Chain A
Amino acid sequence: MPTLWLVVSLLVLSAAGFVFGRQRAMSSAEGNAKELHSLPSYYGHNVAFTTLLPALGALAIWLLVQPMFIESRISQLIPEELAPDRQTLGLVMSDVGRVAEGLDVAIAKGALSADEAKSLRTELTDVRARLGEVGVALGADVRPEVLEAAQQYRVMSKTGNVLMAVFVAVLALGGFSWSYMQTHKDFRARNVVEKGILSLLILAASLAILTTIGIVLSMFFETINFFKLHNAADFFFGRTWAPNFRGDSELSILPLLWGTLYVSVIALLVAVPVGLFAAVYLSEYANNTVRAFAKPLLEILAGIPTIVYGLFALLTVGPLLVGTFGKGGFLGVEWMAGATSVLTAGVVMGIMLIPFVSSLSDDIINAVPQAMRDGSLGLGATRSETIRQVVLPAALPGIVGAILLAASRAIGETMIVVMGAGAIAKFSGNPLDSMTTITTRIVSQLTGDTDFASPETLVAFALGLSLFVLTLGLNVLALYIVRKYREQYE
């Protein structure tokens, strides 16, 4: 709550800064706005931003750093015998957090006074029962060390919050008075505001990049942990995927990669011809009425959540395939055992990718200059000759790029394969077999209730990182090709 109030007062101060800054600028020019270097509102914005932004930034950083700092200080208070290794330390620390929170709740509800909370002793009070009365349930009796740490925790965060409020307020007031003093009719407020906006934009861009780096690094470290516990050669070159709980799991990516690629290839076999033909029709043949109607319709396909496609695979396409190729099916063969198969997932994923391929190809085909078509038509070529011999060859690199992008989506797709492909990791050439993919295994390895530090769980990160590298490679290649092709017509 105090943080919210802090932010509100910052906003109020900054709004006041806008008004005062503007006024001061106007009065320094004796009310004649033409005398000012910049428009009056720029002076207002300058004061408002100088008040608000540094203070808000400091607030955000403080809020991030303070819990980490306190946590590391508190964890030193926990005696060695209570927390012999990092994992138990984590558990104890979360106990401390819960007790501290419980004390806060108890005070807020009036069950404890602030002084009582500070002087509480496990020897004298049954803390678990007292907290239970106000609705904070603890799993076990509170140990004296934990209670002490929790009390310490409360003290430190209280001091921290006060310090934070003071620091932020000083920063805001400082910014306010500094920029207010600067405001004068010759001050180049417009240029300063321009620079401020630029740095804001840069900040946003770097945040996006930093998050990406953060994600990759976190996967990377967990992957290293995995390779400490598991043989890298088995992961990359083994032939079997067979996790178990005895500690001798075989965790090889190859069977999963096989399943992933097999499903993706089938998906592309469905999506590329259909999507490409749809794009050719829409961009070269359809008149405006048809286009206005068909394009949004195709794009609706792109908006369907993949879980819905998954249901479609499970409930419609799978049974349909079994009805054809399965036992008692209408072909009279017995090739398919269950509804989940590489073909089921591949076909549905292909349907999902059609709008993706068609809208990308549509853009690329439209980028081929009209002059090319005119040249060909002017020589007496028909439309389809023009498309086959001039438009498509000219658009080919772009289309290859689009296909690669589609492939990278297919490889990373999860829900459809979770529901449609099955769970058996194996090398098989039969598209009617149930197989599994990298993404489905990541889901199942992380959602089981295995120990988080076991190789069976950590392998998810190694799989994730491999997937990331694979799709990144495809994307980079695709973008390279698409960009090179764009240059050709500029």
Chain B
Amino acid sequence: MNDMQFTDRAVDQKETKIAAHGVNVHYGEAHAIKDVNVEIEDKTVTAFIGPSGCGKSTFLRCLNRMNDTIDICNVTGNILLDGEDIYDKRVDPVQLRAKVGMVFQKPNPFPKTIYDNVAYGPRIHGLAKNKADMDEIVEKALRRGAIWDEVKDRLDKPGTGLSGGQQQRLCIARAVATEPEVLLMDEPCSALDPIATAQVEELIDELRTQYSVVIVTHSMQQAARVSQKTAFFHLGTLVEFGHTGQIFTNPEDPRTESYITGRIG
């Protein structure tokens, strides 16, 4: 693991953005997440790693209640966002998802123009007072998605016509446009080539200045490159959670060590 370079570790302790306690998830009979406790900090990139099927996506989707859309999925335990339980009856999952944005594994731009893709969220939430306002929001989001220069002359062209890496950055811009506080990313680079991956990683590092970012990844190098905290999942349990540098250089649990040295996976 010598070839990994670690990003500068912020030493000072950040405030907790999301705190999960005793989270269990069942798909029908199957127990997919077993008693997970984790605290996700603000303005930090947290990576979820672990072998396929260990429940990374499932847990990530608990954080913005995307699991509500799956009939057989049942979540127990409590998850607090800024100290408020997001599974409380009074919380509207729709509003929650505006605060906790999500980027998916496969780029999924809507079959609309680039402009409309980005304007989609702000329109739904009524964030713009007029056209000029909206133009500004769209431009800002595209700039933050590091794709403005590439698309500024073709905003009225369909988003599906972009390359894979561009599409994924468009999706990030789209998620950013609704001004979320947390950004969840489920293997955002697995469908991308190395160059596009590098662009997205760079972008994630920039996003950290404003958001709390949670990223699921299969690539340990990627986790090491972009994250400050790492959580290792195995068979539905959270095995180890800590500073990325420590997890990769000096893991406490033998299972973590086996995984990062390539013995389980």
The answer to whether B110 and A380 have CB atoms under 8 Å apart is no
Among A119-127, A319-327, A389-397, the stretch in contact with B: A389-397
By secondary structure, the A interface counts as: helix
B121 surroundings in chain A (CB, below 8 A):
379-381
B174 at the interface (CB under 8 A from A): yes
| Known pairs A375-B110, A488-B111; A389 contacts B120 (CB<8 A) | yes
Among B10-18, B99-107, B199-207, the stretch in contact with A: B99-107
Contact pattern, B 153-167, Cβ under 8 Å of A = 1, otherwise 0: 000000010000000
A488 surroundings in chain B (CB, below 8 A):
111, 160
Contact pattern, A 367-386, Cβ under 8 Å of B = 1, otherwise 0: 00101111111111110010
| Known pairs A393-B111, A394-B111; A379 contacts B106 (CB<8 A) | no
| Known pairs A371-B106, A378-B104, A385-B124; A393 contacts B95 (CB<8 A) | no
Nearest A residue to B105, CB-CB: A371
The answer to whether A378 and B94 have CB atoms under 8 Å apart is no
Nearest B residue to A373, CB-CB: B69
The answer to whether B94 and A374 have CB atoms under 8 Å apart is no
Contact pattern, B 80-118, Cβ under 8 Å of A = 1, otherwise 0: 000000000000001111110110101011111000000
The answer to whether B125 and A374 have CB atoms under 8 Å apart is no
A212 at the interface (CB under 8 A from B): no
Closest approach, in angstroms, between the C-beta of A237 and any C-beta of chain B? 43
| Known pairs A287-B71, A369-B108, A375-B108; A381 contacts B102 (CB<8 A) | no
| Known pairs A385-B124, A389-B120; A378 contacts B101 (CB<8 A) | yes
The answer to whether A379 and B98 have CB atoms under 8 Å apart is yes
Nearest B residue to A287, CB-CB: B71
The answer to whether B98 and A380 have CB atoms under 8 Å apart is yes
Q: How far is the CA of A372 from the CA of B108 in the complex (A)?
A: 6
| Known pairs A287-B71, A288-B71, A389-B120; A378 contacts B110 (CB<8 A) | no
The answer to whether A377 and B71 have CB atoms under 8 Å apart is no
A374 surroundings in chain B (CB, below 8 A):
66, 69, 102, 104, 108
A394 surroundings in chain B (CB, below 8 A):
110-111
The answer to whether A381 and B94 have CB atoms under 8 Å apart is yes
B109 surroundings in chain A (CB, below 8 A):
375
The answer to whether A376 and B120 have CB atoms under 8 Å apart is yes
Q: How far is the CA of A485 from the CA of B45 in the complex (A)?
A: 39
| The one of A369, A373, A379, A382 that contacts B120, using a Cβ cutoff of 8 Å | A379
| The one of A373, A380, A393 that contacts B112, using a Cβ cutoff of 8 Å | A393
Q: Which of A242-273 contact B (CB under 8 A)?
A: none
Q: Which of A135-154 contact B (CB under 8 A)?
A: none
B125 surroundings in chain A (CB, below 8 A):
380
The answer to whether B110 and A376 have CB atoms under 8 Å apart is yes
Interface size in chain B (residues, C-beta < 8 A): 28
Greatest chain A CB density within 10 A among B64, B66, B121, B124 is at B124
Q: Which of B117-146 contact A (CB under 8 A)?
A: 120-121, 124-125
The answer to whether B111 and A380 have CB atoms under 8 Å apart is no
Place the interface of chain A in its size category. Answer: 20 to 34
| The one of A288, A371, A381, A389 that contacts B108, using a Cβ cutoff of 8 Å | A371
B49 at the interface (CB under 8 A from A): no
B174 surroundings in chain A (CB, below 8 A):
375, 379
A381 surroundings in chain B (CB, below 8 A):
94, 120-121, 124
Nearest B residue to A488, CB-CB: B111
Closest approach, in angstroms, between the C-beta of A489 and any C-beta of chain B? 9
The answer to whether B104 and A380 have CB atoms under 8 Å apart is no
B106 surroundings in chain A (CB, below 8 A):
371
The answer to whether A379 and B97 have CB atoms under 8 Å apart is yes
Nearest A residue to B103, CB-CB: A378
A373 surroundings in chain B (CB, below 8 A):
69
Greatest chain B CB density within 10 A among A287, A373, A375 is at A375
Q: How far is the CA of A374 from the CA of B112 in the complex (A)?
A: 16
A371 surroundings in chain B (CB, below 8 A):
104, 106, 108
The answer to whether B69 and A377 have CB atoms under 8 Å apart is yes
The answer to whether B108 and A380 have CB atoms under 8 Å apart is no
A390 surroundings in chain B (CB, below 8 A):
110
Q: How far is the CA of A393 from the CA of B121 in the complex (A)?
A: 16
The answer to whether A372 and B110 have CB atoms under 8 Å apart is yes
B111 surroundings in chain A (CB, below 8 A):
372, 393-394, 488
The answer to whether B104 and A377 have CB atoms under 8 Å apart is no
Closest approach, in angstroms, between the C-beta of B111 and any C-beta of chain A? 5
Closest approach, in angstroms, between the C-beta of B129 and any C-beta of chain A? 19
Q: How far is the CA of A360 from the CA of B109 in the complex (A)?
A: 25
Q: How far is the CA of A369 from the CA of B111 in the complex (A)?
A: 11
| Known pairs A369-B108, A390-B110; A378 contacts B175 (CB<8 A) | yes
Q: How far is the CA of A67 from the CA of B96 in the complex (A)?
A: 81
Q: How far is the CA of A385 from the CA of B94 in the complex (A)?
A: 11
Nearest B residue to A397, CB-CB: B111
A378 surroundings in chain B (CB, below 8 A):
64, 66, 97, 101-102, 104, 175
B228 at the interface (CB under 8 A from A): no
Closest approach, in angstroms, between the C-beta of B69 and any C-beta of chain A? 6
29 contacts between A and B (CB under 8 A): A287-B71, A371-B104, A372-B110, A374-B108, A375-B104, A375-B109, A375-B171, A376-B120, A377-B97, A378-B64, A378-B97, A378-B102, A379-B101, A379-B102, A379-B120, A380-B95, A380-B96, A380-B98, A380-B99, A380-B124, A380-B125, A380-B178, A381-B120, A381-B121, A381-B124, A393-B110, A393-B111, A394-B110, A488-B160
Which residues does A use to contact B, with CB under 8 Å?
287-288, 369, 371-382, 385, 389-390, 393-394, 488
The list of the 3 closest CB pairs from A to B, nearest first, reads: A380-B98, A378-B102, A371-B108
- Can you add 4 more A-B contacts, CB < 8 Å, to A376-B110, A377-B69, A382-B94? A375-B109, A375-B110, A393-B112, A394-B110
